Amino acid sequence: MTLTETTLTLLQDLIKNGCVNDLTADSGQEVRNADTLEAFFAGSGVRVERYEPHPGRVSVAFTVEGDGGEPLTLLGHTDVVPVDEAKWTRDPFGAEIDGGRLYGRGATDMLYITAAMAACVRDVALSGARPSGDLTFVACADEEARGGLGAKWLAEHASFSWANCLSEEGGSHLPVSSDALVVVVGEKGAAQRRLTVHGDAGHGSTPHGRDLAVSRIAEVARRVAGVAPLRADDLWHDYVKAWKFDPETEAALLSGSGYSAFGELEQYSHAMSHLTVAPTVLRAGGAINVLPSTAWLELDIRPLPGQTQEEVDEVLVEALGDLADSVEITHLICEDGTVSPTSGPLFDAICATFDEFFPGVPVVPTIAAGGSDLRFARRSGGVGYGFALHGRSETLGSVLGQLHSHDESVALEDVDLTARAYRSLIRRFLGA
């Protein structure tokens, strides 16, 4: 089979295994995809290292040993998010091909990349060519739950290199007349908060004159939602410039207004340039005839690289104003954002590979609004980039729209392009 055919067959097998991570320790059962991948690499001569920090939550590293030069590590996760089967028009785990697309949970996030990585690394192993540095493909468990039983655990216990890493998601196109290809160089962090308020308890039939916790938490939610100002760094400036807007629109965007000009990428573009504060969980009371004395609100807050947890608290306190003294702020999951340089051997290899497939198309570095396993590479002192490759019809917006969606799918053209792009980049970076 060709590289693309091999990738496609493996992708279908990975989807059919249905390794659904519902954020509980016993879910995922990535052991199924780990076993599939071990069978895929059987007889190839790679070094295999299997890790199981919790029963069924298996990650596996497959390494083609090199000659001591710069290593390259490909991080592909094997878990997928849950599905609402009633909203799907196809079997979420059927891996059905129709109309030039392959359908299934995880098709885009990120099993098509995982399959391409595996196919390319096996090809190098079977070729007998020795790369200049170690080439490792890691099938990571638990990415969808922030990697506690996957990449986070591996960063603390595994022996492979984190110096130069690739993972999801890149290589889609900006919807501009001159075209532009996206490479993900960083991602936002986490600054989750719980805001708690207290009020008067009492019978629901006599609310007059009482300090109502529910009313207070509603006002807290109103004040903190969407409060952060624009942070206009070089990445934001270059991203806006790449769209080639008219001068008036460009000036407005560079100063933090007019985001509707981005169309389907309005929300993403706003997130790329702001600390985002999203009220997501609200709790108060239990009985309909009792005034609750406590209410709390949880916030999914995503800081940009360089923004500290202290800055997040300052933003919240300022937004709360005269309510600040009556609101308890509790830190939940906190992780700083991470970013890699837009220069260096791996970044240059990405740009050269893009130019091979789409000559003359500019490359635009971006920040991911969500998280990926690449943050563990950056925290370990390495560099990490999101890398794949899509056809011209697949914009950044259309690819992001597939993530965690009903009837998730990936274009067969993108499976082919991504597999061939990984093979090309491996040759360029490792000489294999």
CA-based max dimension of the chain: 81
DSSP of 125-148: HHHTPPPSS-EEEEEES-GGGTTT
Taking alpha carbons only, the member of 121, 138, 122 closest to residue 34 is 138
Burial 227-258 (b: 16+ CB within 10 A, else e): ebeebeeebbebbbebbebeeebbebbbeeeb
Within 8 A by CB and 6+ apart from 295, the residues are: 196, 197, 199, 213, 214, 216, 217, 282, 283, 284, 285
How far is 330 from 222, CA to CA, in rounded Å? 18
Round the CA-based radius of gyration of the chain to a whole number and report it. Answer: 23
Q: Which of 134, 143, 144, 168 is catalytic?
A: 143
Contact 175, 163 (CB under 8 A): no
In whole angstroms, give the CA distance from residue 46 to residue 136.
Answer: 9
Residue with tokens 């596996």: 60
Task: Let me know if 407 is a catalytic residue.
Answer: no
**340 in Cβ contact with 384 (< 8 Å):** yes
Backbone angles phi, psi at 43, to 5 degrees: 80, 0
In the numeric block, the tokens 């789409």 are attached to 358
In 38-189, the DSSP E strands lie at: 47-54, 57-64, 72-77, 96-98, 101-103, 135-140, 164-167, 181-187
**Does the active-site annotation cover 179?**
no
CA angle 288, 293, 297 (to 5 degrees): 90
Per-residue tokens: 292: 């609750």
Beta bridge partners of 191: 334
Residue showing tokens 């890790």: 51
Going from the C-alpha of 323 to that of each of 64, 160, 191, 221, 257, the distances in angstroms are 59, 50, 21, 11, 28
- Which residue is catalytic, options 13, 30, 79, 134? 79
- Rounded to whole angstroms, the Cα distance separating 373 from 379 reads 11
Calpha distance 360→179 (Å, rounded): 10
> Could you list the active site residues?
79, 143
